Amino acid sequence: MKKFCLFIWVVFCLNFEHLVAAQYTVSTVTELRSAITAAVAGDVILLNGGTYTFTTRLEIKNKSGNATQKITLMANPSSASRPRFDFSAMPENSSNIGVLLDNAHYWHIKGIDVFKAGDNGMQIKTSNNNIIEFCTFSECYDTGLQIDNGSSSNLILNCDSYFNADSGIENADGFACKMNAGTGNIFRGCRAWQNLDDGWDGYLRGTDNITTTYENCWAFDNGKLKSGAISGGDGNGFKTGGSDLKDLKHHAIYKNCIAARNVKKGFDHNSNRGEVSLYNCSATENNTNMGFGSTNPLAKLVIKNTLTLGTTGTVTATVLDVTHCSWNSNPSVTVSNTDFASVNIAELKNPRKVDGSLPDIDFLKLVSGSDLIDKGTSVGLPFLGSAPDLGAFEYVSSLPLNLLKFEGQRTPYGVKLSWLTTNEVNTQDFEVYKRSNTDFIKIHTTQAKNTSGTHYYEFIDDNPIDGYSYYQLKQNDKDGRFSFSDMVLISSTKKSSGLSVYPNPAKDILKIKGALNDAQSVKIIFENLINQKVLEQVLNFNEGENTINIQHLPSSIYLIYLIKNNQKLFIQKFLKIN
């Protein structure tokens, strides 16, 4: 962990204007703790791959970023393996939480495997507006990840929690937004399986009238141990709420969620007195698929476009708004295995994609001819056809067209994208999309040739995003069907003519050579792999060779830019080595 040396270098050696976003690259628990202590808003801590063995919990306490500058703690993208936080040296004890966020706001934690904590794998306590992304929590002695103590507006994104089990056979869930949690927390793209108690637990104590949202989340095989044996825990997929006196309201919204083969209930109200909504959800092979009983009933239950494969269960509440579901569709529908491309629950455990998103699976995806297609009602979620389908997945028919390849490369004129097709039958056009941070935007449309044979297309994006960006191709059929290609990652930065950076890799000295017309001073910027500034300096640029001391930069991959007359000129990506 090298920020102290880096700071001294900046002030006394290179006379940088300011340090924008320090980057720490750490490989040990000691370096990690030091980096967390020193980090300020906008800083990035990169964790090299490997096992980090803890004997005491890791605290991120009284340390916050802000709305525009989060503090990032993430796996180093250049490492071959993920960082694994191993807490197995700590025995089962309520004080032996693995990672504790306490009064820590605006953190982004990504790509970490948390293993065998003596209590929660991660606990978010009195902490708001954090993102926990692409992490796993396994074999902990309490819930994998728990949000409580007033924590609100946190996003748990593309995380997995599994094999968590406590000796008391009571508390170990996959995820929990429970006890005295705050409102506005979101689980998106998460999976929970084979946790001793529940996949998700929303039990309240000490707070009331909060709302939690679940989007594209899968809960399966909960109530079982790692061995597959029945655990003796509750065994629900999604437990919406509950409280000691059975009077507290935990409002819950479920969108495109799946509950499968949980030991007891797929969706369970557990005497929750709040309002619960299920939109386009699926449940199958649970002991009871729907567990919304009349004892201590919900204030309101809304279920739309939802299917159960097997017996539905109990669907009651003080106010009930349940329509367009498999068990009460008008006209009626029949649900059987033949409606789906697969009923193999094991697919839910398939590996995630490289960006952390859920895998593409066939489980409970509708097949052509299913009477569940177009039987829903609009609830604000995207759909194809004349109306939404029933269940967690919209039916997408395969297009006649075959996309043989979609690729891109950087050129002096921009980013050249090309694709090759065969069997264009009823094909309308191709749309090119570009993403820099989180949002895809359409940048081009090409009409299809729509004839037999093999066809080549290309498009040059002459206004590429500085840094790294993703491109994706959408193929549209004339009948409204469409499909997306795999994404292509491009270093879409533009080179300035006549400039070069060497040596590469570099250890102590970096040289920039070339001519910039009428240049007296330019700004040089170093960016890390997530496009955050690491260093910024005003440089008196010479026409010949310009030397920069980089010996105190952490070893990593960087992008270098020069700024002249407010124009950002890309020079080169380079590797800093020790």
List the one residue out of 77, 79, 3, 2 whose CA is nearest residue 530.
77
Two tokens, residue 392:
């967690």
Half-sphere exposure of 499 (CA within 13 A, CB side): 21
Give how far Cα 518 sits from Cα of 113, 540, 543, 565, 568, Å.
52, 12, 10, 11, 16
Instruction: Evaluate the CA torsion angle 114, 116, 117, 120 in order and state its sign.
Output: positive
Distances (CA, A) of 47 to 77, 86, 106: 9, 14, 19
The three-class DSSP label of residue 508 is coil
Is residue 170 helix, strand or coil?
Answer: coil
Complete edge-to-edge strand list for the sheet that includes strand 545-549: 500-502, 509-513, 545-549
Q: Are 116 and 91 in contact (CB under 8 A)?
A: no
At residue 125, φ and ψ (nearest 5 deg) are -125, 125
Bridge partners (DSSP) of residue 560 are 526, 572
HEC assignment per residue over 266-319: EEECCCCCCEEEEECCEEECCCEEEEECCCCCCCEEEEECCEEECCCEEECCCE
Catalytic residue chosen out of the listed positions 63, 110, 116, 239: 239
Residue the block writes with tokens 């080179």: 495
User: What does the block give as tokens for 558?
Assistant: 């960087």
Under 8 Å CB-to-CB from 494, ≥6 apart: which residues?
Answer: 414, 464, 466, 569, 570
Strands 522-527, 533-539: pairing kind: antiparallel
CA distance 572 to 559: 6
Asked whether 181 and 200 are in contact (CB, 8 A), the reply is no
Closest-CA residue to 271 (of 219, 213, 203): 203
Which amino acid is it at 360? D
**What is the chain's alpha carbon radius of gyration, rounded to the nearest angstrom?**
27
Q: Would you call 476 helix, strand, or coil by DSSP? A: strand
**Dist. CA 45–CA 535, nearest whole Å:** 15
CA-based max dimension of the chain:
82
> Is residue 239 annotated as part of the catalytic site, yes or no?
yes
Residue 365's CB is within 10 A of a number of other CB atoms, namely 21
E strands, 423-505, where?
A: 427-435, 440-447, 454-461, 468-477, 482-484, 488-491, 500-502
> Which DSSP category does 231 fall into?
-
Q: What would the two tokens of residue 457 be?
A: 């297309």
Q: Which residues are catalytic?
A: 239
